[in-house]
Amino acid sequence: MKVTVVGAGAVGASCAEYIAIKNFASEVVLLDIKEGYAEGKAMDLMQTASLNAFDTRVVGTTGDYSKTADSDICVITSGIPRKPGMTREELIGINAGIVKEVSSSLVKHSPNTIIIVVSNPMDTMTYLVHKTTNLPKNRIIGMGGALDSARFKYRLAEALGAPISDVDGMVIGGHSDKGMVPLTRLATRNSVPVTEFISEDRLNQVKEDTKVGGATLTKLLGTSAWYAPGAAVSGLVQAIACDQKKIFPCSTLLEGEYGLKDLCIGVPVVLGRDGIEKIVDIELNDGERNHLKESAEGVNKTNGLLEL
């Protein structure tokens, strides 16, 4: 199993680190345009191998896509990160050009690869990859929902005063502050609805804290987060590489599912060796369905800014 991560910044390096430590891939290629940067990050990671007991080979390259040839999975993290006060949508002008060039170069050397998109605005960048490559829809995946759901579970555990391993919950919709749809109705603590433990007001606060999870961290850090995004990517990569058939909410191209079409947005999917093996159609109530529709309208508005 060969995995390429494009972009050796904080998010890309975290992706490479978590993938390497899990020890399911034979090789991780880290690529960046900054001279020597990916090579340095790769060397640093390899010097942790004996300490962290992994055998994954991590190599770095400055812009040489031939080193990525025959990658089973490629992760695109490249682009400019958010700064305090910025929305993900404001990144579209620069990041669209970067993602278009990167995805084209990856597919040229790995025509059978599965692409995971991390760059923001993530749903629109995932849609862009669909429109500019010839990859089938099951092999193009947007990461956002997996990260948003992890942030949702963190906030749920905080509100419940419970261990996070006891908590389950999912966020669907667009990967944006206004577009996320945390499914509080379906959230559970060890299979018991969380509404049995916390009030509606507290649950609404959890929902709002989840939706601004990225912005909260950007304000604190001065840039985008990296640990949780890296971990979210590694979870998706492992589910595909190890054919785990796990369900994650991911941005995928919809063609009538959930009453939506011709856009990428976060819904639950089954991930296995072929990428997205099934879109899971869960029953939403009227409020959830309306929120998802509003989220889709926002994604379509951002998609309209693309120059296809």
Give catalytic residues, as residue numbers. 175
12: tokens are 């890309």
Selection from 114, 122, 120, 167 nearest residue 142 by Cα:
122
Question: In whole angstroms, what is the distance from residue 63 CA to residue 84 CA?
Answer: 29
Beta bridge partners of 31: 6, 61
CB 109 within 8 A of CB 68: yes
Question: In whole angstroms, what is the distance from residue 23 CA to residue 49 CA?
Answer: 10
Given the structure tokens 């005063």, which residue do they identify?
A: 161
162: tokens are 């419970």
